[in-house]
Structure 1
Amino acid sequence: MAKIWSKIVLFIFNIKIKVKGLENISNGRNYIYISNHASAMDIPALICGIPDQIRFLAKQELGRIPLWGWLLKYGGYILIDRRNPKRAMKSVQKAIEKIKSGVSVLVFAEGTRSFNGELLPFKRGGFMLAIKSNTPIVPVTILNSYKIMRKHKLEVSPGTIEILIDKPILVDDFSGRDGETRLMELTRNIIKQNLEKTKTE
């Protein structure tokens, strides 16, 4: 359902996707995908670009966005109420259960969209989830999506969104809050380097 809906959205707005690095992920293996985020169009692009059955771990506010909110709520995605720590932890536990059932989870680690494609500071929720569930992290870099639909704008421009999938990071050697921080910094540096590399090409 989510893939069909996402393909329709991309087709209507004449948005193409180009995916590199699919050879880095294995069929039948679930992951926690950690991605940068610069456009509402990141969601359908990732749903179509990543072959796994993925569920987004997203802030509850996204559930109120027309169309996307419907997709998130009824597509089995996990919405977190960041203003209520108790509810947020329940959502994390729900995500762990989904991962253990074989589902991959995708987290926008910045927690919000960037206005200009620049990488924002990461939040640690996705990394805590990876360590608690002992699930490899796959860094994902999205390029050019902010040019197609910018934050707080309704205009959509045709174009190509490029998705770079890096090799999985095993979490066996990371534990506790210090491990979350190191894992977060490692993942962010990979995505940051990808973004900086494309600027010089």
Structure 2
Amino acid sequence: MAPDSTLMKAIRSALTWAALVLLIILWLPLLGVIRLFDWRAPHRATGRTFRYLGNLMTKVNPAWRITRTGTLPANRRGPYVVVSNHQSSADIPVISRLPWEMKWVAKAVLFKLPLAGWMMRLAGDIPVDRGDTASRAAVLPQASEMLKRQCSVMFMPEGTRSKDGRVRRFQDGAFRIAINAGVPVLPLAVDGTMDALPKHGWQFSGADVRLHVFDPIPTDGLTAADAPALRERARQRIVEQIAAWRGVPTEAVDGTLKTGEEDAKSTATPLNAPSGG
């Protein structure tokens, strides 16, 4: 890339971040006012307003070309346990474009951020500290309560962003919650966001971002012992979709094959979320 092109990319990225910060500053008081009247859980109106901010964020950068495929569920309220692979912080606004409310299980440190973290709390999202056993255990009743109130819950079962765009091993927590609540699992596949905003990077790039919505996977009749099989069924759908988009074999997308990880090593360590890891 030519030096002037590198400079222009940095300038465009700085301007984009400035626009995003301005959006967040403007959105916080609006969210606070809505929450005053939306005081009953699951705070659906507050949550939808917050997700719409994510939708606007994807439009600030015109170099992002976002395509959604698949079929939206007929019953958009569900509830569902929604699961997705995780490539970039850009996954969050891209997935927020979906036209239904869901509470995100997200890294606890994000809730401590000024402005954005405050809005996550107002929207009723669920914090989890992966290093804290009590925090992980607290996700189960919180997520279950949202599902009882007919509000979907969003997980990223890899637990952190992929370093290379491959789909890593999923953990069981989200799938155990779905089975326990008797609700379907709704898988999503996302690709291209790593190019849009690389991990640990701050500069935005032009990217073709794809989001695919799969048919829900029912959990009727399943028990906790079926969680690993349910996990792999959802994960395999995502791997196959990303491989099809890229025109490569599934082995090139399956991140568990690179390190020789085995399914037996996937324990019930719960609940993974969009993170900065």
Return the TM-score normalized by structure 1.
0.90
- Counterpart of 1:9 in structure 2: which amino acid? M
Q: Is the 8 A contact 1:25 1:167 kept in 2?
A: no
Q: Is the 8 A contact 1:57 1:105 kept in 2?
A: yes
For structure 2, which runs of at least 5 residues remain unmatched after alignment?
Answer: 1-48, 249-277
CA distance in 1 between counterparts of 2:208 and 2:93 reads 13
Query: Residue 40 of structure 1 corresponds to which residue in structure 2?
Result: 89
Aligned length: 199
- CA change 1:105–1:155 in 2 (3 A) is same
- The one-character-per-residue Cα deviations of 1:141-161 (angstroms, maximum 9, x if unpaired) are 001111101111111113342
Query: Residue 256 of structure 2 corresponds to which residue in structure 1?
Result: none
CA distance in 1 between counterparts of 2:202 and 2:190 reads 20
CA distance in 2 between counterparts of 1:79 and 1:184 reads 22
Query: Residue 197 of structure 1 corresponds to which residue in structure 2?
Result: 244
- CA change 1:53–1:101 in 2 (3 A) is same
1:181 and 2:228 aligned: yes
Structure number with the bigger relative contact order (C-alpha 8 A, sep ≥ 6) is: 1
Q: 2:80 aligns with which of 15, 31, 40?
A: 31
CA distance in 1 between counterparts of 2:161 and 2:100 reads 23
Query: Residue 101 of structure 1 corresponds to which residue in structure 2?
Result: 149
Query: Residue 51 of structure 1 corresponds to which residue in structure 2?
Result: 99
1:147 and 2:201 aligned: no
CA distance in 1 between counterparts of 2:112 and 2:162 reads 19
CA distance in 2 between counterparts of 1:30 and 1:16 reads 29
CA distance in 2 between counterparts of 1:13 and 1:89 reads 38
Q: Is the 8 A contact 1:10 1:16 kept in 2?
A: no
Structure 1 window deviating more from structure 2 (35-44 vs 68-77): it is 68-77
Q: 1:115 aligns with which of 163, 188, 191?
A: 163
- Counterpart of 2:238 in structure 1: which amino acid? I
Q: 1:158 aligns with which of 201, 206, 216?
A: 206
Structure 1 window deviating more from structure 2 (87-96 vs 102-111): it is 87-96
1:73 and 2:88 aligned: no
Q: CA deviation at 1:106?
A: 1.0
Structure 1 window deviating more from structure 2 (23-32 vs 143-152): it is 23-32
CA distance in 1 between counterparts of 2:75 and 2:158 reads 26
- Counterpart of 1:39 in structure 2: which amino acid? S
CA distance in 2 between counterparts of 1:159 and 1:191 reads 20
Q: 2:70 aligns with which of 7, 21, 30?
A: 21
CA distance in 2 between counterparts of 1:76 and 1:144 reads 28
- Deviating 4+ runs (over 6 angstroms): none
- Aligned-residue RMSD, C-alpha: 1.9
CA distance in 2 between counterparts of 1:181 and 1:23 reads 25
Q: CA deviation at 1:75?
A: 2.2
Identity over the aligned pairs, expressed in percent?
A: 25
For structure 1, which runs of at least 5 residues remain unmatched after alignment?
Answer: none
Q: Is the 8 A contact 1:148 1:156 kept in 2?
A: yes
SS in 2 for 1:57: strand
SS in 1 for 2:104: strand
Structure 1 window deviating more from structure 2 (191-200 vs 153-162): it is 153-162
Q: 2:135 aligns with which of 65, 72, 87?
A: 87
Higher strand share: 1
- CA change 1:146–1:71 in 2 (3 A) is farther
Q: CA deviation at 1:92?
A: 1.8
- Counterpart of 2:66 in structure 1: which amino acid? I
